[in-house]
Amino acid sequence: MTTPIDISEESGVRYLHFGSEWVQGAMRIRKPDALELDYTREMMAGLLLRDAPWPRRVLLIGLGAGSLTKFVHRHLPDAHTTVVEIAPEVHAVAHQFFKLPDEDERLEIVIGDGAEFIANDTARWDLIAVDGFDRNARAGALASQVFYEACRARLSEQGLLVANLFGQLRGYKTQLQRLGKAFDGRVLALAPVASGNVVAFAAAGEPVESSLIELRQQAAALKAATGLDLAPTLKRLEKAGLAPAGNIRF
């Protein structure tokens, strides 16, 4: 089935829609490699949780407007990225309208079903980022227990799964419960951003341990190097009580 695609522009930002009002991706035209949407910025917060040169192997499930793909390709030169996108027309639109780079030795695009890909995969990934929705903002198999358990099995010792969840949808809490079950409760779910998106991180190998002081220092260095500002994320994390005694651990 062909995915219905609409493109809109407002105030210098180009938006991707799948035949509905839901925004599936965005790009500031003057800054095509920047992460325009709040939740996409928070999906890169794993860069504060592991030490460089992490991640070296990145799997992105769901291409959308290519925001995460472009950011990783530009700012993480040591990373090899594989993107799995189910709809070839989305890939074509990302190229034509959202400045998705061509494939090269560091970037591979696979047209296929993300759940099937991870079920049949044998590689180990440092970062698996899941951001796949249909026109009704439903994640389908990408929100299943089987899928989350398959993702866990494919993570490296320092591997992290990050998933974009939609907190306004019925079933969101069930989705988060499945994620917690697959990762034995080792999940950090950030507070919803204004759009209702909830970014959740999960770890299976080496524990994630850091103080807010360390995270702020890393965030400042990351902003200087890439322009990505995660200071607001850390403020929201602290305000939501997700860093008891000034520390996070999962």
**Catalytic, out of 131, 134, 184, 229:** 131
- Which DSSP state fits 103? P
Residue 236's alpha-carbon distances to 68, 168, 190, 212, 233, in angstroms, are 21, 18, 8, 12, 5
201 bridge partner residues: 162, 188
CB 20 within 8 A of CB 30: no
Residue 197's alpha-carbon distances to 72, 201, 230, in angstroms, are 21, 13, 16
Nearest to 150 by CA among 180, 120, 174: 120
Paired tokens of 79 = 């990373």
25 bridge partner residues: 16
Judge whether 131 counts as a catalytic residue: yes
Known catalytic residues are 131
